């Protein structure tokens, strides 16, 4: 929330007839503690809220489904896992027909997906925690698989968090950067990310410095970048 100073603690804002917001502590980094008064939070947000979009998308979406994967179930993320926007039911069916297996994980994408790395030393960057869940059936499928292909950096973080923590569900602040001992994911399907983002640092950890060559090729070939852009399929180095 910016600029936060315009709403000092104790400020109350009424939105329509069914929603009241009381602004409390400033948590820094554009975050604010807000007390919400409403009979039905999700219904009020559907009426008065807007879909959170990356700051580089400046136009409102006329069709919100464009920023939603076909397999999403719960409203809890601050952003869509954009690699999944490429997948349609037909593509998923084709993967299965080709001999692959499709399994699901859940990670509630947090605000860090929008937050650039502002420190000089990447190791000093602090990740916000995110909730993740890996179903038992998915974990068993992963253990049986000869090769695990993760769709998006969010899937990587969910699977690698489960392996690192030894817990299939919980909260994670895992910041994947070089050198990271990947335990689960062999291949990554992902979009082209912003510089100075934790997502690009993850890609760097996964494939090493050759990401620079891939990005240079993408730019030369006029690929589309970022959330509504093209994607790449890369094997772990």
Statement: residue 30 has pLDDT above 90: no
SS (H, E, C) 151-169: ECHHHHHHHHHHHHHCCCE
The pLDDT value given to residue 110 = 79
**Structure token pair of residue 98:** 């080709």
Average pLDDT over every residue of 47-58: 77
The pLDDT value given to residue 2 = 62
Higher pLDDT, 162 or 1: 162
165 near 172, Cβ under 8 Å? yes
> The domain 67-235: what is its CATH number?
3.40.1780.10
Task: Report the share of the chain in percent with pLDDT over 70.
Answer: 96
C-alpha dist (Å) from residue 169 to 129, 138, 154: 13, 12, 14
Average pLDDT over every residue of 124-149: 94
CA 71 to chain centre: 14
Statement: residue 28 has pLDDT above 80: no
Q: What angle do CA 69, 32, 199 make, to 5 degrees?
A: 40
Domain ranges for the chain: 1-49, 67-235
Statement: residue 187 has pLDDT above 90: yes
Statement: residue 131 has pLDDT above 70: yes
The model's pTM is 0.84
84 near 232, Cβ under 8 Å? no
Average pLDDT over every residue of 64-93: 87
């Amino acid at each position: 929330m910016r600029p936060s100073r315009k709403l000092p603690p104790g400020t109350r804002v009424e939105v329509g007839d069914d929603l009241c917001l009381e602004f409390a502590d400033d948590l820094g980094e554009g975050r604010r503690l807000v007390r919400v008064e409403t009979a039905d939070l999700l219904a009020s947000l559907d009426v008065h809220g807007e879909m959170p979009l990356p700051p580089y998308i400046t136009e409102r979406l006329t069709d919100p489904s464009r920023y939603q994967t076909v397999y999403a179930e719960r409203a809890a993320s601050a952003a869509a896992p954009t690699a999944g926007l490429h997948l349609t039911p037909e593509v998923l069916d084709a993967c299965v027909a080709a001999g692959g297996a499709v399994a699901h994980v859940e990670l509630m994408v947090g605000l860090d997906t929008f937050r650039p790395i502002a420190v000089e030393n990447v190791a000093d960057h602090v990740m916000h925690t995110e909730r993740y869940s890996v179903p038992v059936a998915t974990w068993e499928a992963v253990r049986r698989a000869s090769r695990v292909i993760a769709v998006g950096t969010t899937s990587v973080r969910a699977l690698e968090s489960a392996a690192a923590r030894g817990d299939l569900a919980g909260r994670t602040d895992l910041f994947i950067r070089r050198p990271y001992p990947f335990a689960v994911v062999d291949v990554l399907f992902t979009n082209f990310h912003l510089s100075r983002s934790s997502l690009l640092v993850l890609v760097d950890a996964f494939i090493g410095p050759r990401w620079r060559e891939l990005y240079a090729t993408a730019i030369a070939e006029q690929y589309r970048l970022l959330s509504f852009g093209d994607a790449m399929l890369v094997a772990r180095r």
